[in-house]
Structure 1
Amino acid sequence: MKKLIIAALLVVGLSAFAQDKKEMRKRPDRAEMEKLTPEQRNELMLKKMTLDLDLDVKQQEQMKQIIAEQTAKREAMRAERKANQEKNTDERFDMKSKMMDEQIAMKSKLKSILSAEQFEKWNAEKEKQQERRGNRRGGDRK
């Protein structure tokens, strides 16, 4: 009887552990993504947008430039943030305001490149990403 109970517990434990690994493999971890060069990440992002939004060749070229610009700006901001770990509230406000201005500019550029349907798809995908980010952080921060 003890052997049967131990075997049952072992089976349940192993199946639960196997399911956790499957869930973890759905998304590449941050370390793997950071191994990619910025150009490789940009290319992957462009391909994903091409698949999701059915971009034509002209739109792909325009989006490639925008993605490269955004990556460069993001890397510069990340470097600045690391250099100045302890910022006062005014500097944080300025940085957050600058980030929001960049997002507004990006959105207006995309509106001029994408069709209305493509823009709606892109917007919906961004909202899903924000929801996922909020869920991972333990709450909805918008």
Structure 2
Amino acid sequence: LAVKPNMASSPKVVMSFLLEMSKMVQAKSTEELNLLTKFKREKCGHSGGDLRPWDEAYYTTLMKSSVYKLDSSVVSSYFSLSNCIEGLKVLVKSLFGVTCHRIPLAPGESWDPQVLKLCLHHPEEVFSVEIFVT
């Protein structure tokens, strides 16, 4: 399934769609954010304060492992980096018509030689996007 031009016929149609989706997920996302904030405060005491954007991934992982007894290392064993990148390639191609391929790192471009550099390109655009994956 690809995004077709007639699906987003105007900025107004796109904005309407996004606002409708936002309304649909608002209650659940607020509930999850409140639960995560409560979890952080329990772990840090009330001095932990509100959840900050940089806290989210850390406390989500911590909560999954302690509250839900979910071991991320077991789950991640099913998702090797190479399989995830191949899945990303299929996803961006089918949704957006974008190709994704690995390109070499320039000297000094990475702090670790295991970092991967990927190029995302749409055939109708003159520019590409480069992302780094660790």
TM-score, normalised to structure 2, is 0.29
Bigger proportion of residues as helix: 1
Please identify which structure carries the higher strand content: 2
Rg larger in structure: 1
Answer 1 or 2: higher relative contact order, Cα 8 Å, separation at least 6: 1
